[in-house]
């Protein structure tokens, strides 16, 4: 997957670490909620949000690739993550 960038006055900025950090926080929060306090529903919400955060940059890259006529393997990952949400497999989608 190509790095997602943001343009700022200082130039383009690599956001892949931001996405990775958000994913790690979401996974940990969900795990702590599930294990520490028997808040399974709250854990599922944390994992679902983590999946959504992961879907955003992948969807942008996949759409760009499809427009250019260059579908890549990220399309498979996007389909898997959307399917995980649709089937209620939130942890699988977050991972």
Cα 15 to Cα 20, 48, 58, 82: the distances in Å are 9, 21, 12, 22
Res. 21: pLDDT tops 80: no
Task: Please give the pLDDT value at position 9.
Answer: 57
Range 73-94 average pLDDT: 91
pTM over 0.85: no
């Amino acid at each position: 997957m190509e790095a997602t960038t943001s343009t700022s006055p200082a130039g383009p900025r690599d956001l892949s670490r931001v996405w990775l950090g958000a994913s790690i926080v979401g996974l940990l929060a969900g795990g702590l909620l599930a294990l520490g306090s028997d808040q399974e529903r709250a854990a599922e919400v944390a994992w679902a949000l983590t999946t959504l955060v992961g879907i955003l940059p992948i969807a942008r890259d996949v759409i760009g690739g499809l427009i250019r006529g260059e579908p890549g393997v990220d399309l498979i990952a996007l389909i898997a993550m959307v399917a995980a949400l649709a089937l209620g497999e939130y942890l699988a989608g977050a991972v």
